[in-house]
């Protein structure tokens, strides 16, 4: 049989195969993964800072349209106006729109400048007095431009000659007869938008210049707000992630260390933390691991005690068998040789019985853990067992009386194993009952529980021995019974089977005051059939 034929193994193989797809993540600690999961979305949000360049481009596109329209409208207003009127318009529009307006004649000579005609309507930033904030802002601008691969923008530099040929946009406007736009940057990173438009039909041209500091201020303000928000969110998320990791990782590390100590077996009294104050999954895991460790410790102790008991129980018949065999070679008397042969045969049967009972006792838990439980009537099962024993004369002239309810007593379990319990109880009662005695078997039901009671008329069980009779290899047999006829495992096996069915098996005195003992098998009633 391969692993694929076993459901549990096949499931494990599928789970392992699924986990292998994420094997790279197993190299990371749990704390690192928690931090990554919580910080990655914020990091992606912080990356939105770089996409503010799109916002800046949209603002510039709108400003291009505005500059083109302003240049065209101003050129139309200047066309045909007198020189005095043109100068007045240049001053008025420059102040209202915070622009610099320059007029060039047909030969390309500058003949009017709003900054020369009146006070300048704006000033470029003085780059000789720049503080750290401006340096930081400019550095961030350069980083963003580099990351988003922005198109290089030339610096704004006033030409040495005040002629139209020094401005490419004016040259194109004169050649094509339509308005032209040009973008440059002042050294502080603010955009300078110039627009050129022909004025009238005599070859004159207009050049408007605007330092759009508001665009840069809006982008930098949005970037600062987003950056500050992301920064504090990263700090808060890091602190919360570390706290979350601490509340998860530290208990898991403590549980792992305790589990390692349990595995190494160096400390028999390893205390696995139960974390009773925690009501989350970590607390449930801690208590489950603690209970599992305690059950494992009890199982190991039980196995060790069982092994010691087995060695002790087998040693006695082996010693008797060896003595009988060694004596056979030294004895000539036929009667004595026959007696020694009978002793050897008896010891062999006793060892065989012990091995059989020990084998049953050692594998019964494993078999029941894999068995499929089914519904059955324990009263009907007891009646069938008693009838079969009568047919085989196994009750040895003891009278067995069964009292069962009129309706079925439904329980859930493995009928063959419960039959083993009832057989053991009846064997025990037959052993201790006097010849021609009576054994009473009673099936009682109530709302939640079903009891099968086997009472004999034997000497009874002292109060301090009512638990000892269920210990392995504890055997107090009647005087008339042949030595070695019982292994001392019957009641221990019966209790193990009862507990595997979520039931119990106890020894009690008879309620009617008569001499004898009662062994009570209790099993849960099936919920749907209690009424």
To the nearest whole percent, how much of the chain has pLDDT over 70?
Answer: 80
Q: Has residue 421 got a pLDDT over 80?
A: yes
Domains of the chain, earliest start first: 3-48+224-263 (no CATH), 50-211 (3.30.450.20), 372-531 (3.30.565.10)
Residue among 236, 300, 238 at smallest CA distance from 270: 300
Main-chain dihedrals φ then ψ at residue 458, nearest 5 degrees: -80, -165
Question: ∠ CA 453-456-461 to the nearest 5 degrees?
Answer: 95
Q: Give the residue ranges of DSSP H helices in 47-131.
A: 52-78, 83-97, 114-117
Distance of alpha carbon 429 from alpha carbon 400, whole angstroms: 10
Joined tokens for residue 323: 């003595």
Neighbours of 43 (CB within 10 A): 11
Q: Of 199-208, 393-402, 522-531, where does mean pLDDT reach its minimum?
A: 522-531
Q: What is the band of 45 on the pLDDT scale with cuts at 50, 70, 90?
A: low
Q: Has residue 26 got a pLDDT over 70?
A: no
State how far the alpha carbon of 146 is from the alpha carbons of 49, 309, 330, in Å.
Answer: 13, 82, 108
In whole numbers, what is the pLDDT of the chain averaged over residues? 81
State how far the alpha carbon of 138 is from the alpha carbons of 45, 72, 212, 230, in Å.
Answer: 22, 33, 16, 20
pLDDT of residue 7: 55
303-341 pLDDT per residue, tens:
776 677 667 667 767 887 788 787 877 777 788 878 878
Q: Has residue 301 got a pLDDT over 80?
A: no
Main-chain dihedrals φ then ψ at residue 253, nearest 5 degrees: -65, -40
Dump the DSSP string for 265-296.
TS-TT------TT--SHHHHHHHHHHHHHHHH
Joined tokens for residue 363: 């594998």
pLDDT of residue 101: 95
Q: Has residue 239 got a pLDDT over 70?
A: yes
Q: What is the band of 285 on the pLDDT scale with cuts at 50, 70, 90?
A: confident
The verdict on pTM exceeding 0.85 is no
pLDDT of residue 481: 45
Q: Of 1-15, 186-200, 422-436, where does mean pLDDT reach its minimum?
A: 1-15
To the nearest whole percent, how much of the chain has pLDDT over 90?
Answer: 29
State how far the alpha carbon of 36 is from the alpha carbons of 32, 245, 475, 505, in Å.
Answer: 6, 11, 65, 56
Half-sphere exposure of residue 200, counting CA atoms within 13 Å on the CB side? 14
70-77: which pairs have CB atoms within 8 A and are 24 or more residues apart? 70/97, 70/99, 70/195, 70/208, 71/179, 71/195, 71/196, 71/197, 71/206, 71/208, 72/179, 72/197, 74/101, 74/197, 74/206, 74/208, 75/179, 75/197, 75/198, 75/199, 75/200, 75/206
Q: Has residue 89 got a pLDDT over 90?
A: yes
pLDDT of residue 401: 93
pLDDT of residue 8: 53
Q: Of 36-50, 108-122, 379-393, 490-504, where does mean pLDDT reach its minimum?
A: 36-50
Residue among 531, 525, 528, 530 at smallest CA distance from 449: 525
Q: Has residue 475 got a pLDDT over 50?
A: yes
Q: Has residue 483 got a pLDDT over 50?
A: no
378-416 pLDDT per residue, tens:
999 999 999 998 888 888 888 999 999 888 899 999 999
Q: Of 152-166, 185-199, 342-356, where does mean pLDDT reach its minimum?
A: 342-356
Q: Give the residue ranges of DSSP H helices in 22-179.
A: 30-46, 52-78, 83-97, 114-117, 132-147, 168-176
Half-sphere exposure of residue 90, counting CA atoms within 13 Å on the CB side? 29
Joined tokens for residue 338: 């026959």
Distance of alpha carbon 101 from alpha carbon 113, whole angstroms: 6
Q: Has residue 373 got a pLDDT over 60?
A: yes
Which residues face 196 on adjacent strands?
180, 207
Distance of alpha carbon 338 from alpha carbon 11, whole angstroms: 61
Residue among 524, 528, 521, 517 at smallest CA distance from 478: 517
pLDDT of residue 5: 47
Higher pLDDT, 405 or 138: 405
Instruction: Provide mean pLDDT across the span 479-489.
Output: 51
Report which DSSP code applies to 117.
H
pLDDT of residue 235: 82
Q: Of 42-51, 365-374, 376-385, where does mean pLDDT reach its minimum?
A: 42-51
């Amino acid at each position: 049989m391969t692993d694929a034929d076993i459901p549990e193994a096949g499931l494990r193989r599928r789970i392992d195969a699924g986990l292998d797809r994420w094997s790279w993540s197993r190299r990371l600690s749990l704390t690192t993964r928690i931090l990554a999961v919580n910080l990655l979305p914020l990091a992606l949000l912080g990356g939105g800072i770089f996409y503010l360049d799109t916002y800046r481009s949209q603002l510039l596109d709108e400003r291009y349209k505005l500059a083109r329209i302003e240049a065209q409208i101003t050129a139309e207003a200047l066309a045909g106006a007198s020189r005095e009127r043109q100068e007045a318009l240049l001053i008025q529009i420059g102040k209202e729109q915070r622009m610099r307006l320059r007029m060039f004649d047909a030969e390309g000579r500058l003949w009017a400048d709003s900054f020369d005609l009146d006070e300048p309507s704006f000033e470029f930033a003085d780059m000789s007095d720049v503080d750290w904030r401006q340096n930081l802002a400019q550095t961030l601008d350069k980083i963003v431009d580099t990351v988003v691969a922005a198109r290089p923008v030339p610096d704004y530099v006033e030409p040495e000659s005040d002629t139209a040929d020094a401005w490419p946009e004016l040259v194109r406007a004169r050649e094509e007869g339509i308005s032209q736009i040009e973008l440059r940057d002042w050294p502080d990173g603010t955009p300078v938008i110039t627009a050129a438009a022909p004025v009238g039909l005599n070859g004159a041209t207009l050049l408007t210049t605007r330092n759009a500091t508001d665009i840069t201020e809006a982008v930098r303000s949005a970037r600062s707000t987003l950056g500050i928000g992301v920064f504090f969110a990263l700090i808060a998320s890091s602190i919360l992630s570390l706290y979350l990791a601490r509340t998860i990782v530290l208990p898991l590390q403590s549980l792992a260390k305790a589990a390692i100590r349990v595995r190494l077996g160096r400390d028999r009294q390893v205390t696995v933390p139960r974390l009773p104050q925690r009501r989350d999954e970590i607390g449930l895991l801690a208590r489950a691991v603690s209970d599992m460790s305690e059950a494992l410790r009890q199982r190991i102790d039980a196995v060790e005690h069982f092994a010691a008991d087995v060695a002790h129980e087998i040693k006695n018949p082996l010693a008797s068998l060896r003595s009988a065999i060694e004596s056979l070679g030294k004895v000539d008397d036929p009667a004595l040789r026959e007696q020694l042969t009978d002793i050897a045969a008896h010891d062999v049967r006793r060892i065989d019985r012990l091995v059989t009972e020990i084998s049953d006792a050692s594998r019964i838990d494993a078999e029941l853990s894999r068995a499929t439980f089914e519904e059955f009537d324990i009263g009907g099962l007891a009646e069938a067992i008693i009838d079969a024993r009568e047919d085989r004369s196994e009750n040895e002239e003891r009278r067995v009386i069964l009292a069962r309810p009129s309706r079925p007593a439904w329980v859930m379990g493995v009928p063959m194993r419960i039959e083993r319990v009832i057989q053991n109880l009846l064997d025990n009662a037959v052993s201790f009952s006097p010849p021609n005695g009576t054994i009473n078997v009673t099936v009682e039901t109530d709302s939640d529980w079903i009891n099968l009671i086997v009472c004999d008329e034997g000497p009874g069980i002292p109060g301090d021995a009512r638990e000892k009779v269920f210990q392995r290899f504890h055997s107090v047999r009647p005087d008339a019974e042949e030595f070695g006829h019982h292994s001392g495992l019957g009641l221990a096996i019966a209790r193990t089977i009862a507990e595997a069915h979520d039931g119990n098996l106890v020894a009690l005195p008879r309620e009617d005051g008569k001499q004898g003992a009662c062994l009570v098998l209790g099993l849960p009633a099936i919920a749907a059939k209690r009424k």
